[in-house]
Chains A and B, each alone.
Chain A
């Protein structure tokens, strides 16, 4: 009977604050789940409770239906990769990898053979007799991974496994990590503050903010259907524009196009704006939520060149029907191969007529 890992309403309080509040999620067999959140959001405390280093004040943790909430880490049989790898500095690579087997009383010959196998999976069998300090950061990360999988763990836990790697190494390691985790076949839970890591590796993302779960979804759904402004702000480089009914329009660079403002445009924009506003005034709320393209007039605040495109930050005046006040100034990011000058007046338009909208 394999149900994987179930976390049910765990809460952890420290002296003055609640670090984790009523967090629940599942990691199904063979599933890779990412715990994502900003620093201080409680994701590492959650992982430590799953690993057994912290005990929740409330809630339960189940493994294949058995309550393991109070079980000490050494009895859980989980494999964990620590953020700074926590390799034993006085041991060789092979001894590090074999340690989990030593702890399980596996005979010397067998444990070295199995450790060599694990090293082969991560492509480090040639360096088995090195001291860990002689390895590069990427190699240390792979030793830590081999050490965590060698005893066929019931669950694999990874704390910011990629955060200490440089950007180029990081991208190639993502694929490798995903393949290795699939080969091991255990349910895997990893913590990261980097959504790109999470999206590249995870089947499912648990987004945490201020100790609570914000949303649990696949990467695609999280991106396309954020359920709150907080989620939208965290995922992608979204700007939020208030619209009618206390809702927010989620605008990412790829949702917008930029063009120079000329006199004709001005008329066009204002016309469109006016006509749309007039339409809005009569339309129901539901219709405005999905309705039509929008356009704003704005001014280029800054320009930089990246990946073949110019990246602009535009300050736009957003006046929407149904939003009280004279409108607010928002900063919107947009990409274009065409060059505009800082200070230039421009027009931003939404590309799709079905924008993403969240409630506040």
Chain B
């Protein structure tokens, strides 16, 4: 008899059980005994409450921006539409932390926009403080509305406008038409996007860490407990965070299932040209303001990267500019090390991701075997676990050499971060390669073997070329996420392997804004370039699947 497919799947299932499931079990085990402490601590209860407020608030804010924008841009023609469309997805190209820093430069107490407003109205002090829950939601709304915008736009593009015409024909008024026909049909797109925003906001770390002020959330609280070496409480907080994520996931899936429509047909979305001159001018102005708001963070980072450190005091814009920030990155050993670290760790993790996920995707798409469903769930699972929880799980598991318990000492070693990056990117790389393989005619593998090709020749000449777009797109997205990764890194890094994001934070603390911005600009260029490349290869779905909780 020939070997069964199960034999090939077992190693992959075991690896995922070991690095994804087992750490979570260890975490929960470690949390026993500290639950009382958690519920009695006012700061922990507050953190849980704040996390939920931030998540729900972010969902609401992202919907309020994303849905109208999607309608405006897919349904109507007005001056400035094409440029607004082009920049509408830009916030997704800001690496975690970098987006937060650019907001600090723009809207912080001594930020550029804050100072402009202050000088216009001749105020004595800053008109607002960028701190607390509203500040966190503000940043989230900017970076996360993109999911809503993309999901609803694609829903609207597939939406058949003859449905609206039918509703008109049946005598429905515009309001009733919207609430009874259009909105219900868009529910799957909206809930899908809302879930993504919820999960990202819940796991968000950068914004609360930088702007939180007095407002604690679970992710920052976990890091605090870890730094105070109160590991029991940290494990409880992590478990609560992960459970909240699972609860959110189930809730949104439940809503989605209740309104399970499939929008069929090609969709005959017609773009309506706005006729009234007044409305056109007004919309044009609004569009320009939106474009400005959307690209300001990128421009600000770019500008700051050329600003000379230490001379920007009370002026609106930095007064002196220099190339020294960039020169420093590539000439000073201390500044170059993080770049080298990030690139090498991202390459290692991405390489492992591609090898591993290409095999799991191949098994999942082309084979039928016992455990296929399990493998599918395991490859998607890291998506549902907030990065902070992944990091804490690794911390709890790889803290000693104990082969009997399946533990290896990785804490303090270089390998902890590549491992974390690998785990975080398993879902995106898998789904990207899977979608490529699904487009392939499954019989071409049979055809190759029937023509006498060995397994390896079939792989090399037929399957890998067919999966190539997905492999490249998945690799690019994984590399992009890994190179700018911050949330897991801050829990797991050591001085020796500190990545770019940690160095940006260190430079900020030292008030070396120019150097921090130069690093950030570098990341933006890498992320933007790689994302555009990946998108041309794989289409939009993969981008929106990208796991970049900030």
- List residues of A whose CB falls within 8 A of some B CB: 51-53, 55, 70, 72-80, 82-84, 86-90, 99-100, 102-104, 147-148, 151
Contacts of A75 in B (CB 8 A): 452
Selected interface stretch from B183-191, B325-333, B336-344, B438-446: B438-446
* 16 interchain pairs, CB-CB under 8 A: A55-B1, A70-B2, A73-B446, A73-B449, A73-B450, A82-B447, A87-B447, A88-B466, A90-B465, A99-B461, A102-B453, A102-B461, A103-B451, A104-B452, A151-B451, A151-B452
Alpha-carbon separation in the docked complex, A87 to B462 (Å): 10
Contacts of B461 in A (CB 8 A): 88, 99, 102
Pick the residue among A52, A84, A87, A103 that contacts B454 (CB under 8 A).
A103
Q: Is the CB of A86 within 8 A of B447?
A: yes
Alpha-carbon separation in the docked complex, A18 to B353 (Å): 41
B448 CB–A CB distance under 8 Å: yes
Q: Is the CB of B446 within 8 A of A82?
A: yes
Residue of A nearest to B465 (CB): A90
Q: Is the CB of A86 within 8 A of B453?
A: no
Contact with A along B1-41 (1 / 0, CB 8 A): 11000000000000000000000000000000000000000
A103-B457 in contact given A53-B446, A80-B447, A82-B446 (Cβ < 8 Å): yes
Alpha-carbon separation in the docked complex, A73 to B447 (Å): 9
Alpha-carbon separation in the docked complex, A79 to B448 (Å): 11
Alpha-carbon separation in the docked complex, A51 to B454 (Å): 15
Q: Is the CB of A78 within 8 A of B453?
A: no
Alpha-carbon separation in the docked complex, A84 to B461 (Å): 20
Contacts of A78 in B (CB 8 A): 450
Contacts of A148 in B (CB 8 A): 451
Q: Is the CB of A55 within 8 A of B465?
A: no
Contacts of A99 in B (CB 8 A): 448, 451, 453, 461
The 7 A-B residue pairs whose C-beta atoms are closest, nearest first, are A86-B447, A100-B451, A103-B452, A103-B453, A86-B443, A90-B465, A80-B450
Task: Report the minimal beta-carbon distance from B452 to chain A, rounded to whole angstroms.
Answer: 4
Residue of B nearest to A52 (CB): B450
Alpha-carbon separation in the docked complex, A55 to B466 (Å): 27
Alpha-carbon separation in the docked complex, A100 to B462 (Å): 12
With A74-B452, A74-B454 given, can you name 7 additional A-B contacts, CB distance below 8 Å? A70-B1, A73-B450, A79-B450, A87-B447, A99-B451, A103-B453, A151-B451
- Cβ < 8 Å to A, chain B residues 421-448: 440-441, 443-444, 446-448
Residue of A nearest to B440 (CB): A89
Q: Is the CB of B2 within 8 A of A102?
A: no
Q: Is the CB of B2 within 8 A of A74?
A: no
Chain B binding surface SS class: helix
Chain A CB count within 10 A is highest, among B440, B443, B447, B461, for B447
Alpha-carbon separation in the docked complex, A359 to B521 (Å): 85
Task: Report the minimal beta-carbon distance from A103 to chain B, rounded to whole angstroms.
Answer: 4
Alpha-carbon separation in the docked complex, A82 to B451 (Å): 12
Q: Is the CB of B452 within 8 A of A77?
A: yes
Q: Is the CB of B450 within 8 A of A74?
A: yes
Contact with A along B268-311 (1 / 0, CB 8 A): 00000000000000000000000000000000000000000000
Q: Is the CB of A51 within 8 A of B450?
A: yes
Alpha-carbon separation in the docked complex, A102 to B461 (Å): 10
Contacts of B468 in A (CB 8 A): 90
Pick the residue among A52, A53, A72, A147 that contacts B451 (CB under 8 A).
A147
Q: Is the CB of A90 within 8 A of B446?
A: no
Alpha-carbon separation in the docked complex, A87 to B1 (Å): 29
Residue of B nearest to A99 (CB): B451
- Cβ < 8 Å to A, chain B residues 501-536: none
A102-B446 in contact given A89-B466, A151-B451 (Cβ < 8 Å): no
Contacts of A52 in B (CB 8 A): 450
Residue of B nearest to A157 (CB): B450
Alpha-carbon separation in the docked complex, A79 to B451 (Å): 6
Residue of B nearest to A81 (CB): B447
Contacts of B448 in A (CB 8 A): 88, 99, 103
A88-B452 in contact given A55-B2, A80-B447 (Cβ < 8 Å): no
Q: Is the CB of B2 within 8 A of A72?
A: yes
Residue of B nearest to A97 (CB): B451
Alpha-carbon separation in the docked complex, A73 to B455 (Å): 11
Contacts of A80 in B (CB 8 A): 446-447, 450
Task: Report the minimal beta-carbon distance from B435 to chain A, rounded to whole angstroms.
Answer: 16
Alpha-carbon separation in the docked complex, A78 to B446 (Å): 12
Task: Report the minimal beta-carbon distance from B537 to chain A, rounded to whole angstroms.
Answer: 14
A86-B454 in contact given A73-B449, A102-B461 (Cβ < 8 Å): no
Q: Is the CB of B444 within 8 A of A86?
A: yes
Residue of B nearest to A104 (CB): B452
Alpha-carbon separation in the docked complex, A148 to B454 (Å): 16
Contacts of B1 in A (CB 8 A): 55, 70
Q: Is the CB of A86 within 8 A of B452?
A: no
Contacts of B465 in A (CB 8 A): 88, 90
Alpha-carbon separation in the docked complex, A6 to B249 (Å): 57
Pick the residue among B2, B441, B450, B451 that contacts A84 (CB under 8 A).
B441
- Cβ < 8 Å to A, chain B residues 461-502: 461-462, 465-466, 468
Alpha-carbon separation in the docked complex, A79 to B454 (Å): 15
Alpha-carbon separation in the docked complex, A298 to B462 (Å): 62
Pick the residue among B446, B452, B454 that contacts A100 (CB under 8 A).
B452
Task: Report the minimal beta-carbon distance from B283 to chain A, rounded to whole angstroms.
Answer: 42
Contacts of B2 in A (CB 8 A): 55, 70, 72
Task: Report the minimal beta-carbon distance from A160 to chain B, rounded to whole angstroms.
Answer: 12
- Cβ < 8 Å to A, chain B residues 238-284: none
Alpha-carbon separation in the docked complex, A201 to B487 (Å): 67
Task: Report the minimal beta-carbon distance from B204 to chain A, rounded to whole angstroms.
Answer: 41
Q: Is the CB of B466 within 8 A of A90?
A: yes
Contacts of B451 in A (CB 8 A): 74, 79, 99-100, 103, 147-148, 151
Q: Is the CB of B457 within 8 A of A102?
A: yes
Contacts of B462 in A (CB 8 A): 88
Alpha-carbon separation in the docked complex, A75 to B455 (Å): 12
- Cβ < 8 Å to A, chain B residues 88-137: none
Alpha-carbon separation in the docked complex, A72 to B449 (Å): 9
Alpha-carbon separation in the docked complex, A82 to B2 (Å): 23
Contacts of A51 in B (CB 8 A): 446, 450
